[in-house]
Amino acid sequence: MLLGSALTPTHLRLLLAPTLVGLVVAALVIHVFPRARGSGVNQTKAALYIYNGFVPFRTAVGKFITAALAIGAGHSLGPEDPSLQIGAGIASGLGRWLRLSREKVRLIAPVGAAAGLAAAFNAPISAVLFVIEEVIGRWSASILGSVVLASISSVVVARWFLGEEPLFRIPAVELARPEELLAYAVLGVIGGIAAVIFAKAIGKLRPMAKALPRWTQYFQPAIAGLLIGLIGYFGAPQVMGAGYQFMDQAIHNQYTWQMLAMLAGLKILSTTLSFVSGTPGGMFAPTLFIGAMLGGAVGGVESRLFPHLTGSLGTYALVGMGVLFAGFLRAPMTSVFMVLEVTGSYSIIVPVILANTIAYLLSRSLQPVPLFDMLTIQDGTPLPSMEELREEPILRVEDAMRTSGFSVFEAEDLLSDAVQRMNGAAEDALIRHRSGWSWVNKEEIHHLISEGKGETPIGSAFPHRRIVHLYPDQPLEVALRYAGESPILPVVHRAQTRQLEGTISLSDILNAYRRLDSQ
């Protein structure tokens, strides 16, 4: 309705629609729906980690209205991230209405987020992975089951209303020759650099826009809309809105490589303008658009330079989508499965993994802080970095246990023999029973001997001292859970629990964490 039936450079609507709607959206965000600003991913994470899963239903309504207006008027944003926040808002409201516990209300928000994202993107697996990878940050059977059920249910309902047609009409894709992997590696490098340029532009301009006087916030979305409208008016209306139909055209080789490269650059510019102005909308669709255009452009150039490469531009465009997703949004697992889910084919799994990995690693080296983490830092609400959590080293019991300097007794050993063996050894010792372990202190042994009980078996002298045993490969936090039960815990072989591998104490655990912090 806002842009007319066809996007042509002669239409004055290309200038008026994004500009006027920018004024309306700014007024709504400032006065009516203040939490609707931005993409919605960080807001959902904030609801999970700061507000105990609370997402006002008013925010969901506001996000629906403002994002629909902005995207429909041609602002260079997408519907997926807003749908994620809308789903989280609906789920949060449902949890409060059902009077669920605080913990369940906290976790039901990302479940709703997965449902919203899956319906908007028509890709349940990608939605599950993104929410687990970027919002929740951890795997568990209960969370995974709920997220999967919600995602699949929402896609089934969406397809019932909108039909079974996929988001893109995918041509035949394949990896014809192994030499093409070098070409896809080049795409990974170029995509990684483009992702860094995109992220740095947002990271630099967004604080500058927020630092301007408050009255300018009424006009920032309108100015961004006017500039985007000018881009469309003078020959590139494809960059306006989500642009799915133009991605489909790129996949089907309907543009020259020069045009594809130009559209990729202009989309980075237009999306940066829309996003830094505070216009509500998501980054999924622009990221996929830039990736598709960039991938098609790289494929076109390489086909001219190396005619023997038989890969289609459609394949390069599809791989490019995953490349930008991995490099810009820094969700590596989601980026791989997204391409597979969209294409329905595993024939290009190798180039997808290769190019995405290169883009991801290059982006990490050139832009250490991921986009969503950078935005939360700028907003003054630092949230857990999922990338840091994924990369955080896991300390295990074997990293902290001692393999010498302790005493071990059999349950049948006499107290008089034990005290002689403990001279010069550690204060605490372990007792090995036929069905478990216990511990004893040197002073306690001396006390019993002074009472004339030197001929008593050490195992029967302390009948209520049974303690748990640990395994070397267990996470160190498991040992921390039981460290208060006794001064020393046995670490045993998994195949033979009577075979002692070492011991661990609370001081050993804390020292291991200190060593990790100092590295």
For position 63, which CATH number holds? 1.10.3080.10
Question: Residue 381 and residue 82: Cα distance in Å, rounded?
Answer: 20
| Helices 80-97/57-72 angle, 10° precision | 160
C-alpha distance across the termini of the chain, in Å? 58
Q: Assess if residue 390 is contained within a domain.
A: no
Task: Give me 483's structure tokens.
Answer: 């460290």
CATH of residue 469's domain is 3.10.580.10
Q: Which residues contact 497 (CB under 8 A, 6 or more apart)?
A: 469
Residue 112 and residue 26 share a domain:
yes
| Helices 180-211/371-378 angle, 10° precision | 10
Question: Residue 424 and residue 16: Cα distance in Å, rounded?
Answer: 88
Question: Residue 84 and residue 88: Cα distance in Å, rounded?
Answer: 6
Q: Assess if residue 26 is contained within a domain.
A: yes
Q: Assess if residue 391 is contained within a domain.
A: no
Residue 126 and residue 97 share a domain:
yes
Q: Assess if residue 3 is contained within a domain.
A: no
CB atoms within 10 A of CB 39: 25
Q: Which residues contact 112 (CB under 8 A, 6 or more apart)?
A: 87, 88, 89, 90, 91, 92, 94, 150
Residue 441 and residue 340 share a domain:
no
Residue 368 and residue 283 share a domain:
yes
| Residue that terminates a domain, selected from 127, 162, 197 | 162
Predicted pLDDT of residue 309: 66
DSSP code at position 132: I
The number of residues in the chain equals 519
DSSP code at position 329: I
Q: Are 349 and 319 in contact (CB under 8 A)?
A: no
CB atoms within 10 A of CB 389: 10
| Residue that terminates a domain, selected from 323, 358, 384 | 384
Residue 313 and residue 186 share a domain:
yes
Residue 369 and residue 325 share a domain:
yes
Structural domain span for residue 467: 397-518
DSSP code at position 425: S
Residue 404 and residue 362 share a domain:
no
3-state secondary structure 241-261: CCCHHHHHHHHCCCCCHHHHH
Helices (H) and strands (E) in the chain, counts: 22, 6
Task: Give me 191's structure tokens.
Answer: 């995509």
Q: Assess if residue 116 is contained within a domain.
A: yes
* Per-residue pLDDT of the chain in tens (519 residues, 90 and over written 9): 888 765 555 578 889 999 999 999 999 999 999 888 888 888 888 888 888 888 899 999 999 999 999 999 999 999 999 999 999 999 999 999 998 888 888 888 889 999 999 998 888 899 998 988 888 876 777 788 889 999 999 999 998 988 877 777 777 766 667 778 888 999 999 999 999 999 999 999 999 999 999 899 999 999 999 999 999 988 899 999 998 889 989 988 889 999 999 999 999 999 999 999 999 999 999 999 999 999 999 988 888 887 776 667 888 999 999 999 999 999 888 999 888 887 777 778 888 999 999 999 999 999 999 998 899 888 888 887 777 777 778 889 999 999 887 888 888 888 887 777 766 556 788 888 888 888 888 777 777 777 777 788 887 877 667 889 999 999 999 999 998 888 889 999 998 888 899 999 999 999 998 888 776
What residue has token string 């209300």? 105
Reduced to 3 states (helix: H, G, I; strand: E, B; else coil), residue 219 is: coil
Predicted pLDDT of residue 385: 76
Predicted pLDDT of residue 319: 92
Q: Assess if residue 1 is contained within a domain.
A: no
Residue 111 and residue 45 share a domain:
yes
Residue 452 and residue 374 share a domain:
no
Structurally, how many domains does the chain consist of?
Answer: 3
Residue 155 and residue 133 share a domain:
yes
| Residue that terminates a domain, selected from 117, 136, 162 | 162
CB atoms within 10 A of CB 366: 15
Residue 188 and residue 158 share a domain:
no
Predicted pLDDT of residue 82: 93
Q: Are 67 and 79 in contact (CB under 8 A)?
A: yes
Residue 401 and residue 379 share a domain:
no
Residue type at 438 in one-letter notation: S
